[in-house]
Amino acid sequence: MMGPAISMDQPAVQPRQGVLVHGGDLADAASLFPQAPGPWIDLSTGINPWPYPVPDLPGASWTRLPGKAAEAALLRAAADAYGVPDPALLAAAPGSQILIQTLPFLRLPGTVAILSPTYGEHAPAWERAGHQVSLIHTLPDPDKGPLPDVLVLVNPNNPDGRLIVPDILLRWQERLAARGGWLVVDEAFADLVPESSLAPYAGREGLVILRSFGKFFGLAGLRLGFLAAPVSLVQALTGRLGPWAVPGPALELGAMALADRPWQDRMRGQLAQARAGLDAILAGGGREIVGGTDLYRLIRLEDAPDLFTRLGQAAIWVRRFPDRPDWLRLGLPPDVAAMERLAGVLRL
Amino acid sequence: MMGPAISMDQPAVQPRQGVLVHGGDLADAASLFPQAPGPWIDLSTGINPWPYPVPDLPGASWTRLPGKAAEAALLRAAADAYGVPDPALLAAAPGSQILIQTLPFLRLPGTVAILSPTYGEHAPAWERAGHQVSLIHTLPDPDKGPLPDVLVLVNPNNPDGRLIVPDILLRWQERLAARGGWLVVDEAFADLVPESSLAPYAGREGLVILRSFGKFFGLAGLRLGFLAAPVSLVQALTGRLGPWAVPGPALELGAMALADRPWQDRMRGQLAQARAGLDAILAGGGREIVGGTDLYRLIRLEDAPDLFTRLGQAAIWVRRFPDRPDWLRLGLPPDVAAMERLAGVLRL
C-alpha cells in the first residue's frame, strides 16, 4: 500500500469539457446505439439491481414538512447500521453527491490529494472551492514526505475495488489531524465490506466519512447520503444544507431499510453470489478481472472499445473510461435473461 | 409602496440563538402543550391542506439515477406552468430552501437589503456567505439614495401578504442590474397570484426568482423548488448542486402536477373560497386581519399570546412570531371539523 511521497506538482485533473462521464442514463445509451434492439440492460452503474422494496409510504411523508423526529429516527438507524458511535456524528443529505459538492467549501483552500483513479466527482468539487488538487496513484507513507491538507480516497475504490485497511487509514487520519488536515473516506460501497469501514471511528478529529444509501439498497433515485464526522463539522454541513434537507419519503424509507438487518445480511450474500456468477462469465477471452466490489467488476482487455460497441449493439450498456480505453466496468445482470444475453456477446 | 431611501446602518437580523422558528413540526406543538387532546390540527404553515394526489410512481423513479430526460421534462413543465420563457432559464433543486442557502455563495460578499418582516431564512443565508445584511421595512425609490448590491423580497410576502406590482420590481431590477446587482424575488406563494409573478421576465440581467413547489401543491415533504435566472447563474447554481440533485419521485410527480392546469385552476378557486371562510371565522373579537395569501392569514390582536395558548390547549397549532408578539399566522383548516374546532376557540 505504501509508495513514494506525494508529488504535489502532478498535473491536476484532466481538463473537463462540460459534463463528467457517468453511467446510469439509458438516454446516453440509446443515442449512441440507436439501432440496438431494446429493452436495454443497464450494467453501467454499481447500483444493486434488487432494490429494497418500496412500501406504501405514509401520506404525511409527502405532504408535511419533514419533521425533526423523523430525521432523528433516520440518523439513529444509520448510526446503528453503519456502526457510528453516536447519531450526533451523522448528517443526512439528499444524496452523497451533494455532500461531495459541499464539503470542499467547509475549509479554506489548500492542497488536496486524491487517490486515483477513482470516482470522478471528487476532484472537480475540490477545485470548484479553490483547492489545489493533485491526483496521486499510490498511497505514500504518511510519516515521510510532505502531507497534503486533505487526502481523499474511495474505500473500497470505484472502479477497481482497491481496499485499504483501517489501520493504515487511521495512521493517515492521525497525521493529517495533527496539522488540521482531513482524511476524507468515501465509503459509497462499504456496505459490502462493513468490516473495512471507518464508521466506528467517526468523531475522530479530521476524519470525514461519506456513505451512500442508494447503491447497496438499490434506490439511487431516492437520493440519500450521510456524512460522519466530528460534531462541529456535522453542524457546519447541516448549516449549509439548511432545514428539511432530506425529503420525507427518504426519511421514512431510509430509516426502514437501514433498520432491516436481515435484508442487509441476505442481500450481501445474494450480491456475493451474483458477483461470482458474473466473474465466471467475464473470465477468459483475453479479459483480466482487475477488481471491483460485489456490485461491479472492472475488466481490462486489449479490445475494450470493440467489446463496448458489441455490447451496445446488443443493448447492453456498460461503463467505459475515457482515459483508460482498455477498461470496462460492469454491474450485476439483474436476471438470468440478462446474464445470458451478456454471456452471448462475451462468447463471440 | 415608496418610502425613504435604504439606510444601510440599520441593525442586521436579530441575534439567532441556534434554531430559527418555523411551523410545521407537531413535535414542537406536543412538547409545548403535552396535555392537549389530539389529534393536532396543524395551521402553523402555509402549505395547502388538499395535496395533489400522489399516484403510484414508476419503480424506476426510486431505483435508477434520475435521468436527464426526466429532469428536462420537469423543467419544461415548470416553465409552462410558471410562464418562464425558456426551460434553460430554470434550475430545479431539492426544495427552494437549499436554493436560499446556496444563492448567497454565488456572488462576492456585498450589501444585501431584505424587505422585512419576511421569511426568516433569507437573512442568515446571506450572512453565512459573508454579506452585510440590512433589514428594511419599506421599499424605497430605486432612483434615490444608495442602492444595495442585492435586494431580497418575498412576493407575495410571508407572513403579511404584501404584494408589489411587477412594474415597480422591474424598475428595481433595472437599477440593480445596471451596477451588477441582483433583485431576488422569492415567489414561494406566487402560484396564488400568477399575474403578479416576474417569471415571464426571467432571464433579464440581475433578476433571480425562487419558486416553491410544495406549498401550493401541498407536497412539502417532496422537497422541490426552482430558480429562474439568466443562464449563467442557472449554470453556476446547478454546478454547485451537482448531478442528480432532484430525486426521481420529485421529478415524476413535479412534472405531472405542474402540467395539470385544470387541477391548478380548480385549486386556486378552492383555496380562495377556503380563505374567505377562514376570514369569516377570524373576524371580530378584537382581531385585525393584517393580510396574507389564500394559503394563510396574519392576524393582529392584543392578546395574541393568550389566544396562542388557548389554541394550543385545544390542539390547534398556529404560528407565532418572537419579535411580533401581537401577531399570529393561521393556515387553512383542512376540513369542517377543524374549522369548527377553531371557531369554537375563537368564540370563547
Whether pLDDT at A280 is above 50 = yes
Q: Which residues of chain A does B121 touch, with a Cβ-Cβ cutoff of 8 Å? A: 242-243
Give the C-alpha separation, B50 to A313, whole Å.
Answer: 48
Q: Do B65 and A242 touch (CB under 8 A)?
A: no
* Average pLDDT of the residues of chain B: 93
**B4-12 mean pLDDT:** 40
Of the candidates B26, B101, B247, the beta carbon closest to that of A223 is on B247
In the predicted structure, residue B9 carries a pLDDT above the cut 50: no
What average pLDDT does this structure show over A290-311? Answer: 97
pLDDT tier at B66, thresholds 50, 70, 90: very high
Q: Which position has the higher pLDDT, A2 or B115?
A: B115
Q: What is the ipTM of this complex?
A: 0.92
Chain A residues lying within 8 Å of B220, measured CB to CB: 63-65, 244
| Closest to B216 (Cα-Cα) out of B249, B255, B187, B247 | B187
Share of chain A above pLDDT 90, in %: 91
Q: B10 pLDDT exceeds 70? A: no
Q: Output the pLDDT for position B38.
A: 84
Question: What is the pLDDT confidence band of residue A348, given thresholds at 50, 70 and 90?
Answer: confident
pLDDT band at B215 (very low <50, low <70, confident <90, very high): very high
pLDDT above 90 (res A8): no
Q: Is the pLDDT of residue A333 over 70?
A: yes
pLDDT at position A17 is 40
The pLDDT value recorded for residue B16 is: 39
Residues of chain B found within 8 Å of residue A240, distances taken between Cβ atoms: 101, 128
Q: What are the residue ranges of helices labelled H in chain B? A: 26-32, 59-63, 68-82, 96-102, 122-128, 166-178, 231-241, 248-259, 261-282, 304-313, 336-347
Residue B4 in this model has a pLDDT that exceeds 70: no
CA distance A244 to chain B (A): 8
Instruction: Note the pLDDT tens digit of each residue in B195-211.
Output: 999 999 999 999 999 99
pLDDT band at B20; cut points 50, 70, 90: low
DSSP H helices, chain A, are: 26-32, 59-63, 68-82, 96-102, 122-128, 166-178, 231-241, 248-259, 261-282, 304-313, 336-347
Does residue A109 carry a pLDDT above 90? yes
Q: To probe the interface with B, which of A42, A64, A128 has the most B CB atoms within 10 Å? A: A64
Q: Is the pLDDT of residue A180 over 50?
A: yes
**Average pLDDT, stretch B142-146?**
88
How far does the CA of residue B222 sit from the closest CA of chain A (Å)? 5
CB-based contact B187:B208 (threshold 8 Å): no
Selected residue of A68, A244, A246, A251 to mutate for chain B interface (largest B Cβ count, 10 A): A244
Q: What pLDDT digit, counting tens, does each position of B67-87 carry?
A: 999 999 999 999 999 999 999
pLDDT tens per residue across span B258-305: 999 999 999 999 999 999 999 999 998 899 999 999 999 999 999 999
Angstrom distance (rounded) from CA B133 to CA A86: 36
**A5 pLDDT exceeds 80?**
no
Mean pLDDT of B154-159: 98
CA distances from B97 to A125, B159, B214 (A): 21, 17, 11
pLDDT in tens, A18-56: 446 799 999 999 999 999 998 999 999 999 999 999 999
For residue B118, name the pLDDT band (cuts at 50, 70, 90): very high
pLDDT exceeds cutoff 90 at B6: no
**What is the distance between the alpha carbons of residues B26 and B30, in angstroms, rounded to a whole number?**
6
% chain A with pLDDT above 70: 94
Q: What is the pTM of this model?
A: 0.93
Say whether pLDDT at A101 is over 80: yes
Burial class (CB in 10 A: 0-12, 13-18, 19+), B116: buried
CB-CB under 8 Å, B47 with A243 = no
